Chains A and B, each alone.
Chain A
C-alpha cells in the first residue's frame, strides 16, 4: 500500500497540485514528520500508526503546516493523513491554527492490526483516498478496568500513577491540540511550581478538562510520558461522555463548534445521563 501512497504523493507534487508534501519519512530506521519538496525524496515516505504528524512546535506554539503557511502562503501543502492526523487537522482548523483551505488531504486508512495496536476507534480519515475503511476498536480494556473499580480504588490508583509524574510536560508538548500561549499548567495559581510530583490531581485534571472538547485520541500524551501514566484512559472516557451529553465528537467536522462554547439552545445537553459513578 505504501507504494500507492508514494505514487499519489509524487503525482500531486509533479502536477503542481501541491507545493510540498507533509508526511512521515524514514531515515536509517528512524521515522519522523518531514516536509518533502523533491519527488525523489518521496521514496522514503512511509505510513506508520505510531507516529502522528501534528506536533506543536515550541516556543512558537505552532504546528508545522502552519509555520509553513505563514512563511510561504502561496504553497499548497499536501498532508498524508491517517485517521488521527485528519482529526487533528480538523480540530486545529476549527481553532484557526492552520488554514485548511490551503491543504490537500491524501487520506490513508490503517489496517485492522494497526487499529488494534493503537486501540483506535476510527482508523481512517473521511477524505479517504487509499486503503479500505476498517472497523475501529470499540472496547477499551484500560477504561473498563477503571470503571470496574469503586471510587476509593480509583482514587488510590490515580494517586499512585500521578505521583510518578516528573513534570516533563511531555503530555502537553506532544499533544497536537495543546497550543495555548498561556498554558494553565504553567501557572503558579493552580499548581505550585518547582515541585515533584506536581499537585495531585489538579495538575493532570487541567489537561483532562481543557481537552474535553478537543482530544482526538491520538494517544501521544501517553506515549510521551516517561513514567507510563495511563493518561489516555480518562481522556478517552471524557470523549465518550461528551458524545453522550452533547452528541459531539472532536475532529470530525470543521463546521461543528465545541459544545462548551455554545449555549444550550445551540447544543442541548442530554438530560438523562447519570453522573458516571
Chain B
C-alpha cells in the first residue's frame, strides 16, 4: 500500500513565522516535503475561508504560523487569529472535519528549530489522521 504523503498548506506571517521557517531552512534543518508555505503580512489576515478553500482544494492539513502574543508587528493582529481559529475549529468539528487538521502555532523569527519541530509534528499527526475527507467530495 502506497504511503500517504499529506498535502499541507502553511500560512506564515512575514515577521515571525516565515522568518522562522527561513531560519530553519538556512540552518539545514530537515523539513518534510509537500509543505507549501504562503507568506502573509500578519496571521490576523487569515480569513477562515482561506482555510476552507485549502481543504476544498485538497489540503489534508492547514498550518497557521504567527508571532507570540504581545509580539505582533501590528500589535493585536494575532489576537484576532487566536479567536478566529478557535471558532473555526469548532465549526469544522460540527461539520465532521477533524479540527486537529488545523494547527495554530506561535513561532518567532529566532525559533528555527521550533518551526521545524512543530511542522514535523503536525505532519506526523496528519499522517495518522489520513487523507482529508473533503478531498473525495471535490472530485
Contact = CB atoms under 8 A, between A and B. Distances in A.
A142 to B, nearest CB: 11
A259 B93 contact: no
Contacts of A70: none
A202 B52 contact: yes
B38 to A, nearest CB: 16
Interface residues of B, number: 30
A118 interface: no
In this complex, the member of B76, B91, B100 whose beta carbon has the largest number of chain A beta carbons within 10 angstroms is B91
Given A212-B87, A237-B90, A263-B76, A275 B99 contact: yes
Contact of A205 (B83, B95, B99, B133): B95
Contacts of A205: 49, 52, 91, 95
Contacts of B84: 260
Contact of B83 (A151, A200, A259, A265): A259
Interface in B80-97: 80, 82-84, 86-91, 93-97
Contact of B95 (A154, A199, A242, A245): A154
Interface residues of A, number: 41
Q: Is chain A's binding surface mostly helix, strand, loop or mixed? A: helix
B42 to A, nearest CB: 13
Nearest to A203: B52
A209 B88 contact: yes
A59 interface: no
A146 interface: yes
Contacts of A151: 93, 96-98
Contacts of A245: 83, 86-87
Contact of B96 (A158, A184, A259): A158
11 contacts: A154-B93, A155-B133, A159-B137, A184-B49, A202-B49, A209-B87, A234-B94, A238-B91, A245-B83, A260-B87, A275-B93
Interface of A: 146, 149, 151-159, 184, 190, 199-202, 205-206, 208-209, 212, 233-234, 237-238, 241-242, 245-246, 259-260, 262-265, 269, 273, 275-277
